[in-house]
Structure 1
């Protein structure tokens, strides 16, 4: 769930205050550890995919259907982990990707954004009514 504009502004203010107060600590917390962890997970998934291929081939050569099926399932699971992990990792020096109206299909991006805008507006109205 994306942050509202107000929440994004608050977060940016807190980040600026943290950088002003202790820049060394702020740079240590930038989040590169998450990116490294995610990339390591992707590499492990690729290695698992290769193990799955080996199991699949072994099952085919030995005519052991169960081994081949297990190899295929390992390949499938590792492929899913690699693809989802790669999307989360992002590129070095790039902040966490926030969906924008120009990314992906323009029509779909606008539709998603407009739905999210309506939901955020409703949420904001409810919060304002309660106060």
Structure 2
């Protein structure tokens, strides 16, 4: 369902205000998520998954349940490792540096959103 012209203008205004208030956050939200996926983590996770499959098959061949379960867990851990983002990629900062606390500029943005919401409600009635 397409947005009306009024809704599109409001959305554009909100986007411009977000870029003005917090350009770093706006840029991180606009970035392509495929770029944030680490090739290194994908390769390592795939290798761990393959090792888990081999351990699972060894448990089946030797008929040792605990080895099969361990292989399954290793395989699941490899898939999890490959598909999650590292802390460094998720925050956009090196691992050793703590992130800064958000500044107080948010209240103006939120109050502006509330005012626009109230205005929209008044226009509808």
Which bracket does the TM-score occupy, shorter chain normalised?
0.3 to 0.5
| TM-score in terms of structure 2 length | 0.43
Give the greater-gyration-radius structure (CA): 2
Structure scoring higher RCO (CA < 8 A, sep ≥ 6) equals 2
Higher share in helix: 1
| TM-score in terms of structure 1 length | 0.41
